[in-house]
Amino acid sequence: MVEGSKEKAQAEPPLESKELGFVAVMATTFTTVFLAEMGDKTQIATLLLSAQSGQTWLVFLGAALALIASSLVGVLVGRALANILPPDRLQKMAGTLMVALGLWLGLQATQSLIASSQTS
């Protein structure tokens, strides 16, 4: 019996994301999005809007709704792509997109710094 249970344990597939617990998925998602959003252009824009308008709670509500809406788009597109593409290809595409966006934003920042140093 021990031998049969060993074979059964070895035959079980590894945990997939569907089998992860609620708390694990929620904590991973929260941490990833929270850290990704720290110090980005959206946070800076929200800071400026709050300072300019003096309507802290309205700016918070608008920013929160915008993040919810953009996250919904990401979830729906991600689910659709997961049904079409294998997970490893999807990860490589996401990584490539993140690197490309980083390079593009870095180029924009460099151009902005050059332009502002020329006007000084």
Q: Are the beta carbons of 63 and 42 closer than 8 angstroms?
A: yes
Count of beta carbons in the 10 Å neighbourhood of residue 46: 19
pTM of the model: 0.56
Mean pLDDT over each residue of the chain, to the nearest integer: 83
Note the residue count of the chain. 120
Average pLDDT of the residues in 77-98: 90
**Which tokens is 5 given?**
């249970």
- Which pLDDT score, from 0 to 100, does residue 57 have? 95
